Amino acid sequence: MEYQAFTSKTVKRFLAFAGALALINHFDSPEPRERRFLTAEPPAAGHGKPVMATFFETVEGGCCGMTQEGHENLLHAWEEAWQANGWKTKILTEKDARKHPEFEVMRDKLLKVGVSEYNQRCFWRWLAMAANEDENGGWMSDYDFFPLTLTGDLGLELAKRPGFKSWAAHVPTLIHADKQGWNQLASLMIDTVSEDFGLEKITDMFVLKLLHDYLTEDEMGVTLWRNNYSYGFPYSAKYGEDGPQIDCELANKLGAHLSHYAVGELAEEKKNYPVIEGMQKGEGVQRRAEAALIMLKDYRKKCAKDVPVSSSV
């Protein structure tokens, strides 16, 4: 695959601000298996289904509040959810990232600045998407991002806009880009990672926000940058007989990002975690797979027919 480097002066320009950026913490929030739960939609007429990709490479022993089994369960739930919403799914791995000609360059830089195993994998996904041979590029989501209004048909429509598009701003949880867009952002990521950050924790989310703060959207190749997702479960704290109730207004988003924090401490505080029989306090992150499928069952039962697709896509 032909590789095109995009930067130098623009990246060096904002690296001069690295000292001040040491005060910034990593960004963890936006500006803010039970298979019988889901039924697959019929294929859309006249065209094929879009493909939603995610990146998964195990970290030995698990991480981030989950065992390896917990991560694998979440991945299976992610596949099931997207396929039921009219999509094909694709799981990218380190093998895909290594197809990118700059993989070793990025890996060496990440090791040099002490990026954790988990966060190294978050950077690798950009290379895996950039190495995609499809000239039209493609979709990528976290495997803890679950579709709500984002059907396969809507995905085909949204993909028609060229360039790099994020529906969660600097949080790289739901993105579509054409081939040039993925290559451009991967190149910027490689060029930007630096010891000059002066931070204990460097993540791809931090770097993406840094780029957007100090480059123009034209320089990044960005054509859409907004928030259209639920941060955590779209339940109200108002309990019914069966626990928290799905809020169709909150759920009128492209999808829900069930991040570690959103379903852990924050969910305990907001009391909006779906009821799972026998679940103990502190198991919210580990049992996201079950909770996600319960959420989708509740959403389809109460909201799917009544809530129009959000117009602010």
245 phi and psi angles, rounded to 5 deg: -105, 135
More confident residue, 247 or 43: 247
Q: Residue 29 contacts by C-beta under 8 Å, 6 or more apart in sequence? A: 171, 231, 259, 261, 262
- What dihedral angle (degrees, nearest 10) is formed by the CA atoms of 123, 156, 215, 257? -50
Q: Per the structure block, which two tokens stand in for 32?
A: 């803010």
What region, left, alpha or beta, does residue 271 occupy, with left being phi > 0 and alpha being psi -120 to 50 degrees? left
**What is the per-residue pLDDT across 57-89, written as a single tens digit (0 to 9) for each?**
987 776 777 888 999 999 999 999 999 999 999
Alpha-carbon span 172 to 209, nearest angstrom: 10
Q: Outline where DSSP puts E strands in 125-234.
A: 138-141, 145-147, 164-166, 174-177, 222-225, 230-231
43 has a pLDDT exceeding 60 = no
Half-sphere exposure of 21 (CA within 13 A, CB side): 23
Q: Shortest CA distance to 196 belongs to which of 271, 297, 109? A: 109
pTM: 0.84
Tell me the pLDDT band of 268, cut-offs 50, 70 and 90: confident
Which residue type is seen at 298? D
* Phi, psi of 31, deg, nearest 5: -75, 105
* Mean pLDDT within 267-288: 85
C-alpha distances (whole Å) from 288 to each of 185, 191, 207, 250, 292 are 30, 35, 27, 19, 6
Bridge-based pairing state of the strands 88-92 and 255-257: unpaired
Strands 255-257 and 145-147: antiparallel
Residue 241 burial (C-beta neighbours within 10 Å; 0-12, 13-18, 19+): exposed
Closest CA relative to residue 87, chosen from 51, 36, 37: 51
Q: Hunting for tokens 């109460």 — which residue is that?
A: 302
Q: How confident is the model at residue 26 (pLDDT cuts 50, 70, 90)?
A: very low
* Tens digits of residue pLDDT in 96-133: 999 999 999 999 999 999 998 899 999 999 999 999 98
Query: What percent of the chain is predicted at pLDDT more than 70?
Result: 79
3-state secondary structure of 175: strand
So what's the pLDDT on residue 272?
86
Task: Compute the average pLDDT of residues 223-241.
Answer: 87
* Calpha distance 306→302 (Å, rounded): 8
pLDDT at 145: 98
